[in-house]
Structure 1
Amino acid sequence: MKYILPLLFVLLFLTGCANKDPRIQSVDNLDLQEYLGKWYEIARYEHFFEKNCKNVSATYSINENKNIKVINRCEDITTNEKKEAIGEAIKVDNKNSKLKVTFFWPFYGDYWVIMLANDYSYAVVSEPTKEYLWILSRTKSLPKSTKDMILKKLKDLDFDTSKLIWTIQE
């Protein structure tokens, strides 16, 4: 346990020093009220904090201090143990599509909405180093045509789509 905070600091420091791709931009405008609510994870780049997770969801709401409350939930694939992480996101700009998220204050990570359906039915989240990537949906699955379109756009931005873990949603 005593090594967790120093490890997180090193990971965040190294992430901040990684090469940033100037082509990765957040969407022009995000209506926060439309974005709030429950999102299901369709796919992700694997990271230790989501290892062996299925039935992954993220729920966003406004908290008392007017920031965004983040509740991430999942179940372990083998044990079905439910996991939950509660964090907070703050807006970085007036577009609302760039956020800073923390689950371990004072450490924040970038959360950029880089693709968003006009009807807010799906979103793609990453950050300028492309280390993190999530495909989210308001439903537990996406039509093949939507997935194909998202994957093409991600490939055009040189994301390694072979690294995507397709989330089990039951």
Structure 2
Amino acid sequence: MHLRPALLACLLLAASPVIAAEPVRAVDTLDIDRYAGQWHEIAHLPVSFQKQCVGEITANYGLRRDGRISVTNACRNGDGERVVAEGVARPVAGHPGQLQVRFVPDWLSWVPLVWADYWVLALDPDYQWALVGEPDRKYLWILSRLPEMDRARFEQLKEKAETMGYDLGPLRLMAPIRDTPAD
């Protein structure tokens, strides 16, 4: 009988970080023209489709005539080869900071499950860095226009993600972190 209160206390304690987390929210404004171009991945939560990536991870976004966004993700694998994945993103109507992305052929784009959430959670006013995730907190990327990031900014973005309930224990650092800001 004395075990029940202790078990209940443990369950409440374990659940408290989830309960206390802010909701995952996308930015209110996203100018796709300014967001387009090359981004360097600084860090990410492990995901199966990036297992082979060991460095030089980039994402390139370009505007298409149909209003969608071309996505080209690339990285170097353990053998030094460049691995490329081509996809497309579409804006979510009424939610500027929310996109959906897919990496399957166009003829499969009608299948709802091929589209994944891509939310811009924090964004530099000058579009020099971004924090990207999704509402289930399974995916998270810290991106920069430069192939490195200063430590203060990196820690600030990690703190923002933790505030939204992301578990950063398995976060993988994929690019250099500087101890001083860039000039």
Question: Is the structural similarity TM-score above 0.5?
Answer: yes
Give per-residue Cα distances to partners, 1:97-148, cap 9 Å, x unaligned. Answer: 1001000233110000011111111001111100100000000111111011
Q: Is the 2:89–2:99 Cα contact (8 Å) retained in structure 1?
A: yes
Tell me the residue number matched to 2:103.
103
Tell me the residue number matched to 1:55.
56
CA distance in 2, matches of 1:48, 1:114: 22
Tell me the residue number matched to 1:133.
140
Tell me the residue number matched to 1:14.
none
Whichever residue aligns with residue 43 of structure 2, its letter is: A
Match of 1:144 among 143, 151, 163: 151
Q: Is the 2:90–2:99 Cα contact (8 Å) retained in structure 1?
A: yes
Give per-residue Cα distances to partners, 1:58-107, cap 9 Å, x unaligned. Answer: 0000123221000000010x201111010000000244310010002331
Whichever residue aligns with residue 57 of structure 1, its letter is: T
For the residue of structure 2 that corresponds to 1:58, the secondary structure is: strand
Tell me the residue number matched to 1:26.
26
Number of aligned positions between the proteins: 148
Match of 1:153 among 145, 160, 183: 160
Instruction: Rate the CA distance shift 1:86–1:80 in 2: closer, same or farther, 3 A.
Output: same
Quote the sequence identity (%). Answer: 32
CA distance in 2, matches of 1:142, 1:93: 32
Q: CA RMSD in A?
A: 1.5
CA distance in 1, matches of 2:81, 2:69: 26
Whichever residue aligns with residue 159 of structure 2, its letter is: K
Q: Report deviation, 1:163.
A: 1.4
1:167 aligns with 2:174: yes
More moved, 119-128 vs 99-108: 99-108
Runs of 4+ in structure 1 over 3 Å off? none
Instruction: Give the structure-2-normalised TM-score.
Output: 0.76
Q: Which runs of 5+ in 2 are unaligned?
A: 1-20, 177-183
More moved, 150-159 vs 40-49: 150-159
Q: Report deviation, 1:49.
A: 1.0
Q: Is the 1:68–1:88 Cα contact (8 Å) retained in structure 2?
A: yes
Q: Which runs of 5+ in 1 are unaligned?
A: 1-20
1:83 aligns with 2:86: no
More moved, 84-93 vs 58-67: 58-67
Instruction: Rate the CA distance shift 1:92–1:22 in 2: closer, same or farther, 3 A.
Output: farther
More moved, 111-120 vs 100-109: 100-109
Q: Is the 1:43–1:166 Cα contact (8 Å) retained in structure 2?
A: yes
Give per-residue Cα distances to partners, 1:12-43, cap 9 Å, x unaligned. Answer: xxxxxxxxx87101001011111000000000
Computing the radius of gyration from Cα coordinates, the structure with the larger value is 2
